[in-house]
Amino acid sequence: MHEDVGAYRPDEARALFRAGLRTPTAGWCTGRTQANLIAVPRDFAYEVLLFAQRNPKPCPVLDVSEPGATSTAIFDGDLRTDLPAYRVYRDGEAAGEVDDVREYWRDDLVAFLIGCSFTFEDALLAAGVPIRHLEQGRNVPMYRTSTPCRSAGDLGGPLVVSMRPIPPHLVATAVRVTSRYPAVHGAPVHVGDPSALGIADLDRPDFGDPVDVHDGEIPVFWACGVTPQAAVMATRPPLAICHAPGHMAITDARDAELAVP
């Protein structure tokens, strides 16, 4: 075991998870891209991919598997065993949290790997922007907004955003840094005034945990990967396999490759 989980290579981390280690992946495999997993039957795949194409900020697709395949170009492991924990959904309803989904996997499942804000949070910290939920040891607060996504067939729903309170003199830095990462939600969708997004109370997020907003700090909102999960589940696919929250797919891709000039 490495003392610092950031020192693991992706293949080492995946082997540990395959062997049964169950842990959130924040901080693991420094510099490697972590991803959301959503696997759905092939019959649902076009709408998921089209929804992502139409809503690239909340749904940055990093890779898509062949139907039934258990690895992808950027994930040289076994999608059924190499994440630390999974959530299985039947007809859109949670049907259990497990650490191995081999018994559920089907030959027609298409796996979508979708970018995750862990990538840009590392870049924000490196640029000196504090991240409150990390300071407080909490999950990031997330909110349903009154902004609809562009729908794709039956797939639709509100944009979900995450919020990070930023000191006014660092707002421009936060915008600049995250805009370099369009593959992981990119620049904020909104700066300040939660009510314009239909958010009544920052202390009551729809997902995750509330965080302290200090006097004078500006709430800054980024598109969130919960958006496609919520839209997909609302269409009630017969089977969907997702990562458990915070227990991401650790890919072989490098965060640096996702940055644009």
Least distance (Å) from a second copy to the CB of residue 53?
6
Least distance (Å) from a second copy to the CB of residue 52?
8
3-state SS of the chain is CCCCHHHCCHHHHHHHHHCCCCCCCCCCCCCEEEEEEEEEEHHHHHHHHHHHHHCCCCCCEEEECCCCCCCECCECCCCCCCCCCEEEEECCEEEEEECCCCCCCCCCEEEEEEECCHHHHHHHHHCCCCCHHHHCCCCCCEEEEEEECCCECCECCEEEEEEEEECHHHHHHHHHHHHCCHHHCCCCCEECCHHHHCCCCCCCCCECCCCCCCCCCEEEEEECCHHHHHHHHHCCCCEEEEECCCCCEEEEEEHHHHCCC
Q: Which is nearer to a second copy, 84 or 157 (CB)?
A: 157
Q: Which is nearer to a second copy, 232 or 244 (CB)?
A: 232
Least distance (Å) from a second copy to the CB of residue 179?
5
Q: Which is nearer to a second copy, 53 or 136 (CB)?
A: 53
Q: Which is nearer to a second copy, 53 or 146 (CB)?
A: 53
User: What are the residues binding a second copy (CB under 8 A)?
Assistant: 45-46, 49-50, 53-54, 61, 64, 66, 73, 150, 153, 176, 179-180, 182, 187, 260-261
**What's the burial of 161, exposed, middle or buried (CB within 10 Å: 0-12/13-18/19+)?**
buried
Q: Which is nearer to a second copy, 46 or 96 (CB)?
A: 46
Q: Which is nearer to a second copy, 73 or 234 (CB)?
A: 73
Q: Are 188 and 221 in contact (CB under 8 A)?
A: yes
Least distance (Å) from a second copy to the CB of residue 93?
26
Least distance (Å) from a second copy to the CB of residue 233?
21
Least distance (Å) from a second copy to the CB of residue 88?
24
